[in-house]
Amino acid sequence: MGQRVSKSLQEKSKEIIIVIKTILVTGGAGFIGSNFVRYIYNKYPDYKIIVLDALTYAGFIENLPVDINKENGDRLSFWYGNVKNGELVDTLVSQSDVVVHFAAETHVTRSIYDNYIFFETDVLGTQVIANAALKYKNHVERFIHISTSEVYGTARSEKMNEEEPLMPMSPYAAAKVGADRLVYSYWATYELPFVIIRPFNNYGPYQHLEKAVSRFITSCILDEPIRVHGDGSVARDFIFVEDTCRAIDRVMHADIEKVKGEIFNVASEHHRTILSIAQDVVRMMGKDESIIKFIGDRPGQVFRHTGDIAKIQRILGWSPEISWEEGLGKTIEWYRKNRHLWEKQLWMRAVPIITKSGKRELH
Ligand SMILES: NC(=O)c1ccc[n+]([C@@H]2O[C@H](COP(=O)([O-])OP(=O)(O)OC[C@H]3O[C@@H](n4cnc5c(N)ncnc54)[C@H](O)[C@@H]3O)[C@@H](O)[C@H]2O)c1
């Protein structure tokens, strides 16, 4: 069957013999997906990675760790296609030992403006790939579904653990709840080895400019005003993308008995307001705070998110390793050095919506 994991990993977890050959990554040309592909590609030279991505406005072939025109396909192959295409998904899942499902429409504001494709991709796309995992259950050792903290809505407790009620506040969040519960039902019904991961807000290299941290940084580089929704008091738990990749790696290599049917938050356990993030970016990039401008608040806004990571710490020994200051510094450096990669997204930054106060605005 598959190959064994690299020697160093075997030494760390001697009691587990993990046999992994091929990993299918959906949405691997997007932000977190491409960081994950790069992480696995560099860490596990024995693994084969298959990327399936529809290259929507948010996916870029240049995000992958190799030039796929030159790569011979032995270690990393790219399939341009849609997760809703059952024929293609069956073909790829049937060759895979592990599936990591990132592919989704992901921009909250865009889901307020036009949500049809969110339900199509996030819910029906997940159904297609979960059905394929069911069909090839003798081959697929585990299916890791990437859900999101947005499924919880605004925090009701100091820190939100995996038992927090699911109260989605936007069409994006509702679509992700649909996918999350669909995957859970496949575990409950068919006892298939599904694991659900709920990352909190990620930031880092390769993030689309429609998201707050990358937009703030690139606005500073371009000498533009920084646009902050409402009064900037909404708060989120931000986690550096490499820490998320390490968490998924832990789930991928854990004893399956410890993780199947489980849900894991991936967070920093600290929340920070969007205004304080804008101020940190401005300070670290040597700009004046007067460039921060306030625009109308987004409807369906989540007021605060703070994750509880006790479960993943206890079961898998994972904790974040990169501090906010360090992660933000690395992210700023990446955007400074890679203008050629993000410049082509400039036209996609603004979405027309009607704000809480009823005004029509570009967000
Ligand atoms: N970015 C975050 O802060 C965050 C936080 C929690 C969870 N998540 C989840 O993590 C996953 C990845 O998020 P991201 O920020 O990297 O998103 P992203 O928008 O940067 O990337 C999404 C990728 O999916 C691809 N895709 C979209 N529709 C597809 C389809 N129908 N078929 C195949 N590929 C398709 C896109 O081309 C793109 O490459 C998503 O499931 C998202 O809900 C993201």
DSSP annotation string for 195-237? EEEEE-EEESTT--TTSHHHHHHHHHHTT-PEEEETTS--EEE
Please state, in angstroms and rounded to a whole number, the distance separating the CA atoms of residues 228 and 230: 7
| pLDDT value, residue 103 | 98
- In the chain, the N- to C-terminal Cα span, in Å, equals 50
* Locus of tokens 């599936």: 99
- Give me 241's structure tokens: 């993308």
Name the DSSP letter for residue 270: -
In contact, 355 and 297? CB cutoff 8 Å: yes
pLDDT score of 8 more than 60:
no
Report residue 181: phi and psi, to 5°.
Answer: -75, -30
- Of the pLDDT bands very low, low, confident and very high (cuts 50, 70, 90), residue 16 is low
* Locus of tokens 């001697």: 14
Dump pLDDT digits (tens) for 116-159. Answer: 999 999 999 999 999 999 999 999 999 999 999 999 999 999 99
pLDDT score of 3 more than 80:
no
> Which is the closest atom of ligand 1 to the Cα of 199?
6
Report residue 334: phi and psi, to 5°.
Answer: -60, -45
Lowest mean pLDDT among 5-14, 36-45, 111-120, 188-197: 5-14
> Which is the closest atom of ligand 1 to the Cα of 84?
31
Q: Is 59 in the pocket of ligand 1 (CB under 6 A)?
A: yes
- Of the pLDDT bands very low, low, confident and very high (cuts 50, 70, 90), residue 194 is very high
Name the DSSP letter for residue 357: T
pTM of the model: 0.94
| Domain 12-207+240-269+307-322 in CATH 3.30.450.40 | no
The closest of 74, 62, 77 to 29, measured between CA atoms, is 62
Partners of 354 in beta bridges: 360
Strand, helix or coil for residue 352: strand
- Give me 194's structure tokens: 């599904």
Dump pLDDT digits (tens) for 19-77. Answer: 568 999 999 999 999 999 999 999 999 999 999 999 999 999 999 998 887 876 789 99
Length of the chain: 363
Q: Is 237 in the pocket of ligand 1 (CB under 6 A)?
A: no
Q: Is 214 in the pocket of ligand 1 (CB under 6 A)?
A: no
| pLDDT value, residue 359 | 81
Domain boundaries, the chain: 12-207+240-269+307-322
Please state, in angstroms and rounded to a whole number, the distance separating the CA atoms of residues 276 and 282: 10
- Of the pLDDT bands very low, low, confident and very high (cuts 50, 70, 90), residue 18 is low
What is the best residue among 39, 56, 100 to mutate for testing ligand 1's pocket, by most ligand atoms within 8 Å of CB?
A: 56
The closest of 173, 107, 154, 150 to 302, measured between CA atoms, is 154
pLDDT score of 14 more than 50:
no
Distance (angstroms) between ligand 1 centre and the Cα of 199 equals: 12
Please compute Rg for the chain using Cα positions: 20
